[in-house]
Structures are given as structure tokens and as C-alpha cells.
Structure 1
């Protein structure tokens, strides 16, 4: 089985994954990356009004093969009904 490495960045600190996980496929690795993003956002609430959490998935050769990000935007005061783009 291939090994995938999940490097995380919470807007302040990059945490490289030196161990990785043996997973069946890139699709399974994608699902793992997607699961960790909400946890990162929950554990590292931003000090400002915007933060982007990132997971880079690397293959065994060290090449980034997938990047997934989640942005947290906080709006205060008079907020209109328009979605954030």
C-alpha cells in the first residue's frame, strides 16, 4: 500500500508529517485530509477575522499531490445577506 504524508498549516505554523499513513488510494487520502480540516479550525480559532487552514498531501517521493484548504471568515457588525466569495 502507498504511504501518504499530511503536512498541516493553520495560518501560523507548518507541521510536517514525517510518519505518514499507509492508505489504499489517493481517494482515501483525500477523505483523511478532509476530516482533519474542521478539527484544525476548531482547535485554532483565529485571532483575527480570517484564517485559512491547509493540508498538503505528499506521496512517498515527497511530491505534493493534493492540497486541501478550509477558510474561516468572521464578519462582525452590520452584515448583509450576501454570501462570502
Structure 2
């Protein structure tokens, strides 16, 4: 089974996957990267009104084959109040 590496970045911290995961194919690696994004957001929020969470997949040769990001943008509207 191929090994895929899923690197993450939450605007503050880049984490390079140095162990990898045995996954059946690139689609399974894509799904794992996408699944990581909401978990990253839950762990970091609330922490400001603008954040981007990124995950990328590298194959066994180190080539990035997939990238995904999740962006949070919050803005106060008329009548709202800042904390």
C-alpha cells in the first residue's frame, strides 16, 4: 500500500508529516487531508476573525499531489459589538 504524507498549517504552525500513512490510493489521501481541516479549526477557534487552515498531501517521492484550505472570515456588522 502506498504511503502518503499529510502536512498541515494553521497560519501559526506548519507541521510536516514525517511518518506518513498507508492509504490505498491518492483519493483516500485527499479524503484524509480534507477530514483534517475541520479538526484543525475546532482546535484553534475561536482565535481571531480571520484564519486559514491548510493541508497538503505528498506522495512517497515527496511531490505535493493535493492541497486544500479552509478559511474563516468573521466581520462585525452594524449594531454588533466588539468583545
Same fold flag (TM > 0.5): yes
What's 2:58 paired with?
A: 58
TM value normalised by structure 1 = 0.86
What's 1:22 paired with?
A: 22
What's 1:78 paired with?
A: 78
Between the aligned partners of 1:15 and 1:59, the Cα distance in structure 2 is: 16
CA shift for structure 1 position 41? 0.5
CA shift for structure 1 position 46? 5.3
TM value normalised by structure 2 = 0.88
Q: How many aligned positions are there?
A: 79
What's 1:49 paired with?
A: 49
Between the aligned partners of 2:46 and 2:12, the Cα distance in structure 1 is: 10
Q: Which runs of 5+ in 1 are unaligned?
A: 80-85
**Equivalences for residues 25-44 of structure 1 within 5 A:** 25-44=25-44
Measured on the aligned residues, the alpha-carbon RMSD in Å equals 1.4
Q: Which runs of 5+ in 2 are unaligned?
A: none
CA shift for structure 1 position 10? 0.4
SS at match of 1:78: coil
Query: Hey, which bits of structure 1, 4+ residues long, moved more than 6 A?
Result: none
